[in-house]
Structure 1
Amino acid sequence: MVTYVVLSHQISISRACRVVLLPKSMYYYKKIKDDSETINKLEELAASYPTEGQDLYYGRIRTQGFKWNRKRVRRVYLLLGLNQRRKTRRRVPQRVKNPLTQPSAPREMWSVDFMSDVLINQRKFRTLNVIDDFNREAIAIEVAYSMPAVRVTALMEQIIYEHGKPKCIRVDNGPEFISKEFNTWCEGNSIKIQYTQPGRPMQNGYIERFNRSFRESILDAYLFEDVMQVQILAEEWVTDYNSRRPHETLGGKTPLEYRAEWSLIMQSTPQELIA
């Protein structure tokens, strides 16, 4: 009312307050509400439990010892727009940090990763790279235009048939690796999956270094017309990488030489000491 009188009749606020019988101090009074703690708590609950609603949030708040009444929680809940339908993405479970250590024997740990590139016609293709962390041996490089989880498991079946089965596979959190198809396949083959933490590619450092060598030697060095050309060159490069390319981390030996030396040591070591 005071605001209306001031604007309509162009008089001062003091005179307008006297006209409507409103104390001037009440006109300037502003109620102060500090909802920052409530806002923080509701935002925290919304991030942790995106599929729940106001009633469950209120129940959790009371369980945690906060004494806010339902009206306050409701008011802040609406203020944050949490009553509106929210699209939620599938979240990656919490991953455990695992140190990058060299296995003590072949087929104890394989690292698997994807790479992407394009042909001359700009069509994209992907490569599935698999190495043995023990001697950095390139187990396989498979090339295809697309690699959904079903194709990945089929390729892994073929690779295992040719090279034997690993005890554990180290992968990132790509959709193919966190899929139900891939997890079911690993469980059925008694293969443990070791996921790296999101945003921590150094936890899969062996294959990251391998990918760099493959990109510099093949993907960035040639122009390809089709995936068959990529596959042929990749297989030729893998043969050279395993049998003729010395590795500083392996004492200047090739992956195959390093594995052969390990086999001789194991054959000459008494079985009681190995056990």
Structure 2
Amino acid sequence: MAYEAVTQKAVSIRFACDAFQISETCYRYQHQSEDGNSLIADWLIKLTNEHKDWGFGLCFAYIRNVKGFQFNHKRVYRIYCELALNLRIKPKRRIKRPVPEVLKEPEHTNDIWSLDFMYDQMSDGQSYRLLNVIDDYKREGLAMEADLSLPASRVIRTLNQILEYRLPPNTIRCDNGPEFTSHEFQNWAVQKGIRIEYIQPGKP
């Protein structure tokens, strides 16, 4: 109606917009052709197929900055969602690891002990930790310590309790957790004449 008033009654655009209570932006808006939507969709599908880890931001930046298309951000995102590209599952990045080292097999009792933590939850949702100590030669469980927190001092206390009735091992095999890499634990091992063998990251 505002357009008819301007073209047929020769009134100003501002007057017509005020009379019909619309903004001048709304009056001057020109419907964009849907022809560009298929072009946007083609580029989005092409980019997401070639670059599995690209999200909307990188796709839009490529379309605008590299290809030079001046499509509106909201328009491109609407088509991106209509194609369900926002629901894609991004592939997990696999960490490249070196060739795993062959673990030394124990030759006798008390040759190698293995230390490792396990995690679980109680019925109320409270998490707790389990420290397992195993003699690798016979796969004998030497201790299982459970608590909400097991710092290096608790690990040392558990090992000292085992050493009250058993000879110390030549080697303790463990992961690179903070309890095992702490100075407190390393100094204790030196005092006992025990060598610490850290396994490679990602190798149980």
Q: Could you state the TM-score of these two structures normalised by the residue count of structure 1?
A: 0.37
User: By percentage of residues, which structure has more helix?
Assistant: 1
Relative contact order, CA 8 A, sep 6+: which one is greater? 1
Structure showing greater Rg: 2
Q: Could you state the TM-score of these two structures normalised by the residue count of structure 2?
A: 0.49
